Amino acid sequence: MTRYGGFVLLSCSLFTTSSLASFYDPVDGQFDMGHHLAENAHGFLPIPILITEPAVGYGGGVAGLFLHETDEEKRQRKQAALSAIDGGAQLVPSAMSVVGAVGTENETWFVFGGHRRSWMNDSIRYTGGGGFGVANLDLYTSINWGPIDHDLRIGTSTSVAVLSQKVQFRIGQSPWMLGIKQLLAKSEIEFDNTVLDRILGNESVTSGLGLEAEYDTRDNLFYPTKGYKLSADYMVYDDAIGSDYNYRNLNIDGEAYIPITQKWMLGLAANYQNFDQQDRLVSPTAKPYVSLRGVSSYRYQGDEIETIQGQLTYSINHRWKVSGFYGSGTAKQDNIVSHDSTINAGGVGFRYQIARRYGLHLGMDYAQSHEESAVYFNVGSGF
């Protein structure tokens, strides 16, 4: 099966005769969106979205990216970009927002928004986002009991409204930040199986609070070329804070970007999640899943998730990059009915630096596992 992810397209309406020159970089003369993104009135970039995902059908939507930079921040970024080919990319906007909406032919739709803001030279940082919509998805569970060894597909339709936010505080001038996280969601899930719908189909509230620690030395927010990021958070979902489901989740993420030579860069990423279920039954989408390019979301869920990825990137020049990647993920089950699953996937891709003064790259990845292949149009490294 071939699966296409969301594709971020640049709006043709931007290319008017009067503004055409602003889409070419004054340093290298290449196509570039950095000037438009920084110099228009509100730092606003319209992003049409095309979805060709067989699981939800064809569809699309639109998003808007807002960079809330002061005139002084814009001046510093522009000066840095004019003085060096990678200038400006290390400067992170103190505030940015995104709003948008998507919909598909199988009646999946979602309206979303998010905001990131920092104060005191990034000593205090707030990140929040939320949305509402309906997701019509297939979930899978492995049945391994005696002579039965079968992957069971479960069709679901979930109406959801969700809010997620966190506040982080930097420790001195170090790369370490500590924070508090919150997630609040109200959902109603329906199953295409009558028995499951009677048992699990209901309206529920999921409420969680947690702590997070983060270490980040990456040289760019959008497309790092060197540095490390390590984050760990522990979330508690409990009826004491208004949740209908009681469980705990530990999530540890790591990324490393290691320059090998001037042209070659090695990227590594790993993830570990531990799901501690307190109730006999929880929402089917609560359990974590293996997240790899070439593997469907929610295809491999488990009580413990372990993934590792590697990506080797070659820079043709400062604009164009090509890469090859490979990863492996394991979903471990804490019961006697389901069995552990391991999935491997790999592929190739390319990136084009679309906004040099921000270090913003976009491109395409082709990934394949033993079950399916997929094409992704990505902004960023792909991790």
- Dump pLDDT digits (tens) for 279-300: 888 888 889 999 999 888 888 9
For residue 93, give the DSSP letter.
Answer: P
The number of folded domains in the chain is: 1
pLDDT in tens, 261-282: 999 999 999 999 999 998 888 8
Q: What is the dihedral of CA 21, 22, 24, 25, to 10 degrees?
A: 130
Q: Work out the pLDDT band at 5, boundaries 50, 70, 90.
A: very low
Q: In this structure, what CATH number is given to the domain that contains residue 191? A: 2.40.160.50
pLDDT value at 22 more than 80: no
Q: Work out the pLDDT band at 4, boundaries 50, 70, 90.
A: very low
Q: What would the two tokens of residue 8 be?
A: 């971020």
Q: Are strands 304-315 and 320-332 parallel, antiparallel or unpaired?
A: antiparallel
Q: Are 72 and 58 in contact (CB under 8 A)?
A: no
pLDDT value at 147 more than 70: no
> Which helix (H) or strand (E) covers residue 81, if one does?
helix 71-83
Question: Rounded to an integer, what distance in angstroms lies between the CA atom of residue 118 and that of residue 346?
Answer: 36
> Residue 242: what are its φ and ψ, rounded to 5°?
95, 10
> What share of the chain has pLDDT > 90, as a percent?
51
pLDDT at 17: 45
How many beta carbons lie within 10 A of that of residue 255, not counting itself?
20
Q: Which domain holds residue 187?
A: 2-379
Q: Are 301 and 333 in contact (CB under 8 A)?
A: no
For residue 106, give the 3-state DSSP assignment: coil
Q: Nearest-CA neighbor of 54 among 159, 132, 137, 142?
A: 137
User: How far, in Å, are 41, 65, 251, 327, 377 from residue 310 at the CA level?
Assistant: 40, 30, 19, 6, 19
In 171-290, beta strands by DSSP E: 176-191, 203-216, 227-237, 247-259, 264-277
Single-letter amino acid code for the residue at 288 = P
> Which helix (H) or strand (E) covers residue 14, if one does?
none
pLDDT in tens, 329-360: 999 988 766 778 999 999 999 999 988 888 88
